[in-house]
């Protein structure tokens, strides 16, 4: 655990120190950018913060490769090379989109390429860790893998609408999945706790936490397309890598509900963004618009309309993400009879905090109508 803590601190430091440098350099490219109608900021802000997250993550991988503790992870570096190639595509496409605003189909093609690079370098879903559900055809393994990676990247992208929201959700997701992956590794092997899923999430956690102080409201830099694509790719790749650990584990507690964790947890972590994604697609199709066309009707926009400030909206979404993710991952280690009532209590607290302004507004409106009658 101490080695992971060291890597978290290292990636945090690199991200925290590098972000202001990237912001200074990026100011040269933001002068001609226009503030879009759906944006919450009033003036152009540098969108290249994802470079700091990627650089901190890459630096952490380099440091880990020089540590004896991770000799098993880097013994076969095919997966690491696949991640590196995917990050290279993300940097190129992300910067191009942030500066030129690429067409949706170009971005989708790039996302498929990112998933393909990961899938063809050993990061692939061969089976689901439940029962005997095997995916025998290689082409289908690749398709399923690409689908999961593209879905997660787009879910993170849809959450990047308020200062600090995507970075905070990613940190919460990386932290909870790190805990799950690390504990799982201790059950898989009593001698080697090194785990690629835990490693990726530890580095992502540090990188996002280091970026967050610069990105929290009022933000002075955004992560941009490079950041959301990198976060989505890393989270999904970590989940795919862990499916192999669960598949080879015979412990009963990891062979029932918790066996679904590698596939379920990334979606739980980004539950609100995924829900937002689905609702947005239906909403735009109903209005005869492209499902990829932007608008200002996402969940976070609706929270602002209810009366929450930007900070309150972000913190509430943090709370929802933490409650959902921690509740689900706790099932793997804590009896369900203890998890369920505790989770319901926190769900109630989150619900009251979320809808309190709307209820108060309705009550005040009712009082005014009664007073005028």
What Å distances lie between residue 209 and 152, 166, 171, 315, CA to CA? 20, 11, 6, 15
Between 320 and 248, the more confident residue is 320
d(CA 159, CA 214): 18
Q: What are the boundaries of each domain within the chain?
A: 2-271
Q: Please, what is the average pLDDT of the chain?
A: 81
- Identify the pLDDT of residue 36: 53
- Residue 194: Cβ-neighbour burial (10 angstroms; 0-12, 13-18, 19+): buried
**Confidence tier at 334 by pLDDT (50, 70, 90):** confident
pLDDT in tens, 185-198: 777 665 667 889 89
Task: Mark out the alpha helices in the chain (DSSP H runs).
Answer: 2-26, 50-65, 78-100, 104-119, 138-159, 165-188, 196-215, 224-247, 261-269, 271-286, 299-306, 310-330, 336-372
pLDDT digits (tens, 9 = 90+) for 111-144: 999 999 999 998 988 766 555 567 778 899 899 8
The neighbour count for residue 219, using CB atoms within 10 Å, is: 21
Which residues partner with 134 through β-bridges?
127
Q: Which of 228, 226, 104 is nearest to 173 (CA)?
A: 228
**Residue 160 and residue 126 in contact, taking contact as beta carbons nearer than 8 Å:** no
Distance (Å, rounded) from C-alpha 340 to C-alpha 131? 25
pTM, to two decimals: 0.84
pLDDT at 4: 95
């Amino acid at each position: 655990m101490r080695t992971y803590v060291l890597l978290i601190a290292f990636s945090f430091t690199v991200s925290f120190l590098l972000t202001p440098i990237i912001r200074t350099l990026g100011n040269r490219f933001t002068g001609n950018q226009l503030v879009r109608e759906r944006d919450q900021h009033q003036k152009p802000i540098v969108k290249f913060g994802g470079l700091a997250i990627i650089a901190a993550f890459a630096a952490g991988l380099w440091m880990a490769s020089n540590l004896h503790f991770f000799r098993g992870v880097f013994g076969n570096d095919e997966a690491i090379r696949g991640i590196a190639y995917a990050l290279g595509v993300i940097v190129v496409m992300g910067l191009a989109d942030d500066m030129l605003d690429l067409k949706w189909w170009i971005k989708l093609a790039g996302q498929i390429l990112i998933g393909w690079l990961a899938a063809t370098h050993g990061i692939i879903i061969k089976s689901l860790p439940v029962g005997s559900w095997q995916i025998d055809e290689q082409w289908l393994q690749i398709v399923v893998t690409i689908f999961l990676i593209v879905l997660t990247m787009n879910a993170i992208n849809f959450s990047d609408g308020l200062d600090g929201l995507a970075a905070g959700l990613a940190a919460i997701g990386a932290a909870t999945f790190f805990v799950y992956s690390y504990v799982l590794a201790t059950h898989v092997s009593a001698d080697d706790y090194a785990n690629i899923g835990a490693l990726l999430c530890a580095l992502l956690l540090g990188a996002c936490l280091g970026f967050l102080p610069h990105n929290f409201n009022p933000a002075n830099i955004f992560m941009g397309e490079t950041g959301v694509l990198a976060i989505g790719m890393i989270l999904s790749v970590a989940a795919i890598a862990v499916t192999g650990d669960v598949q080879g584990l015979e412990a009963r507690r990891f062979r029932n509900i918790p066996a679904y964790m590698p596939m379920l947890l990334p979606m739980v972590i980004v539950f609100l963004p995924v829900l937002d994604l689905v609702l947005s697609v239906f909403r735009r199709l109903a209005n005869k618009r492209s499902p990829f066309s932007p608008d200002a009707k996402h969940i976070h926009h609706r929270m602002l309309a209810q009366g929450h400030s930007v900070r309150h909206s972000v913190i509430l979404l943090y709370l929802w993400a933490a409650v959902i993710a921690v509740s689900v991952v706790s099932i793997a280690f804590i009896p369900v009879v203890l998890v369920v009532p505790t989770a319901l209590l926190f769900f109630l607290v989150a619900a009251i905090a979320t809808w309190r302004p709307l209820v108060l507004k309705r009550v005040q409106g009712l009082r005014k109508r009664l007073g005028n009658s």
